[in-house]
Structure 1
Amino acid sequence: MMFQNTLVEGFIMNAKDLNYFHELVKQKNFSKVADYFHVSQPTISQAIKRLEDEFGSKLFDRDRSHGQLHVTVTGKQLDRHVLSILNELDVAQADIDRVHQNRIRFGLPPIIGNYLVPNFAPQLMNADILSLLDVVEYGSAQLLKMLRKGEIDMALLGSLTPLKELGIRTVQIGNYPLVIAASLENRQLQAIHDPIHFAQLRHERFIGFNKEFVHYTAFNELCRQTRVRPKVIYRGADIQIIKRLVQSNLGIAYLSTAAITDQDHLLQIPLLDVQQSLHCYCAVRESTILRPSEQKLWDIFAQDSSTNSAH
């Protein structure tokens, strides 16, 4: 217990030491690290000495004959924790800064942003929230990383499985099956009125998303489970382009029903062998104390979650 108290005090007093240490693990050169932080080389050496004394273990081995610096096993283990601590400090600073701001940095994947958010627009306008949103558009995986780092305040995320991420609080706002989308001009598929096996589509040309998107992962998992490898003629990030290509009967796509509207005039064919769904969530960091405007935004999604999940 005494060690823990000393460690906490040392951490508060020497947060810079952790930055010096982490950079030294990366560069393995005292002079380069000193230049990177614009400090003297003895400053870096003293910081490492303090950490080694604090933990009672050697963090680096110096091979003076070859002029090399090696990170010890202890050093590698400490660096994993230091990286987590430094990231948390960055998030803490971002959270403190945002307390005094009125804007909400809001992450939106393209499909969720284009097709689900409009359902909430009247409520967002009535609550005077819509005008406060600074929208950041990326795929769900990238937005989750940004949320963890404190680069955005809140996000809507898509996931193929129930979203249970350490340090992330969520409320589910929808659950949308993935289906085969095809043109009405596709005569072979137009004649199908029941769910089919994916193997029946092995000779079809596919149009899909690039690797930033949940749909890319879903399609790969579908191929893995069925051991079918159809030809993919196009991958992109724009859902409108993907749907236009499908409408033109240049290929078919594996899409969430969240992305398909009546105006698209596309066939929607469920699969028998693999059933996947796009689970949609509103997410914030568990450490975040929501500002009044953010609480309103969270409550809007939380209150409507049951009705939107019934899709």
Structure 2
Amino acid sequence: MHINDLKYFNQLCIKKSFSKVAKYYDISQPAVSNSLKRLERHFDTTLLIRGNSQKELLITSAGEQLNKHIESIINELQSAEREIVRMNRKSMMLGLSPIIGNIYFTKIAKQIKESSLTRDIITYEAGSNDLEKALITGKLDIALIGSIQKDQNDLLTFLNFAESKFCVFISKDNPLSSRTGIYFSELKDQAFVMFNSSFVHTQALKAFAKNAHFLPKVLFTSIDVNFLMNMVSENIGVTILADIVKPNRPDIVKIPILDDKQPHFYASIAYRSNHLLTESQSSLLEIIKTKL
């Protein structure tokens, strides 16, 4: 059995065609057939059968089970390839969510510069949900991310360094702006402008809405906090953000949410649990742990 046998079988499960898999990998059709035979000999089982039509391929239960493991194996191989390339280049990919990057990374940037780590670091900015996926697939080495749950993924190691509640950001022109605290159910008639689904704020909104028993009306979504603030300022809608965020305009009010049951925002360092940290990555991790 060869590694390519696993890759060919994975594509057979997807494309359901020997000829399409052969074309995809630029190999002969008999090579794909021989690869399948090696796998079936190795596992002593039938992985694929032909249906009523000669062109119809059916994956057996054993084949489906094997393919689930193959998907994990391929992902691990791709992650290893990416990580080893970066290790050889002595570079590291650091993921930053916009809010955590603006608030926390600036606090450690000076020490990172003084330690000469800046020449090794390539930063990548995205929402925390996308950063988590990038960590799992090996596209990132370390990330500063937000979540509404502690240690929510067994594939990753999380080191929490900050926790906060969520607040409503609202225009001074909104009648609710004079409130010193607000229950989420009181926002039932408000329109919302929110980060898109790559950010954990979408999950927080769903959690609040579920507890308050209403479906919020989201007018616009964005990846840009300044866009959200501008929309709030113009009284187009309200938004919810972690309490660590400050209004960037004088005509926006931040109001605490009073609900007893509510999600919390956790800021964390995250990396793959099976990732062997390099010396520079360990140094960066130590700076983050001691300064944040």
**TM above 0.5, one fold?**
yes
1:292 aligns with 2:260: no
1:253 aligns with 2:239: yes
Which of 89, 93, 106 is residue 101 of structure 1 equivalent to? 89
* Matching residue of 1:6: none
Matched residue SS, 2:88: coil
* 2:207/2:263 contact within 8 Å kept: no
Which of 107, 111, 130 is residue 123 of structure 1 equivalent to? 111
C-alpha separation between the residues in 1 aligned to 2:102 and 2:146?
13
Once the two structures are TM-superposed, the CA of residue 124 in structure 1 deviates from its matched residue by 1.7
* Matching residue of 2:138: 150
C-alpha separation between the residues in 2 aligned to 1:64 and 1:272?
63
1:301 aligns with 2:264: no
* 1:236/1:242 contact within 8 Å kept: yes
**TM-score, with length taken from structure 1:** 0.87
C-alpha separation between the residues in 1 aligned to 2:6 and 2:89?
29
Q: Which amino acid in 1 is paired with 2:238?
A: I
For structure 1, list consecutive stretches of 5 or more residues without a partner in the other structure: 1-9, 306-311
1:229 aligns with 2:182: no
* Matching residue of 1:89: 77
Matched residue SS, 1:208: strand
Are the structure 2 counterparts of residues 41 and 216 from structure 1 closer, same or farther at C-alpha, using a change threshold of 3 Å?
same
1:56 aligns with 2:44: yes
For structure 2, list consecutive stretches of 5 or more residues without a partner in the other structure: none
Which of 1, 13, 16 is residue 25 of structure 1 equivalent to? 13
Higher deviation after alignment, 124-133 or 139-148: 124-133
C-alpha separation between the residues in 2 aligned to 1:240 and 1:133?
26
Once the two structures are TM-superposed, the CA of residue 117 in structure 1 deviates from its matched residue by 1.2
C-alpha separation between the residues in 2 aligned to 1:129 and 1:158?
24
For residues 159-203 of structure 1, give each alpha carbon's deviation from its aligned partner in whole angstroms, at most 9, with x where no partner exists: 1010242231221121121111122343x323322x322122222
Query: Identity over the aligned pairs, expressed in percent?
Result: 31
Once the two structures are TM-superposed, the CA of residue 98 in structure 1 deviates from its matched residue by 1.9
Matched residue SS, 1:151: coil
Are the structure 2 counterparts of residues 196 and 64 from structure 1 closer, same or farther at C-alpha, using a change threshold of 3 Å?
closer
Q: Which amino acid in 2 is paired with 1:210?
A: N
For residues 97-152 of structure 1, give each alpha carbon's deviation from its aligned partner in whole angstroms, at most 9, with x where no partner exists: 22212222111112212222112222222222234321112211111111111112
CA RMSD of aligned residues (A): 1.8
Which of 51, 71, 74 is residue 62 of structure 2 equivalent to? 74
* Matching residue of 1:244: 230
Q: Which amino acid in 1 is paired with 2:192?
A: F
Matched residue SS, 2:67: helix
C-alpha separation between the residues in 1 aligned to 2:191 and 2:26?
56
* 1:198/1:228 contact within 8 Å kept: no
* Matching residue of 2:178: 191
* 1:156/1:280 contact within 8 Å kept: yes
Are the structure 2 counterparts of residues 231 and 65 from structure 1 closer, same or farther at C-alpha, using a change threshold of 3 Å?
closer
Which of 265, 268, 274 is residue 281 of structure 1 equivalent to? 268
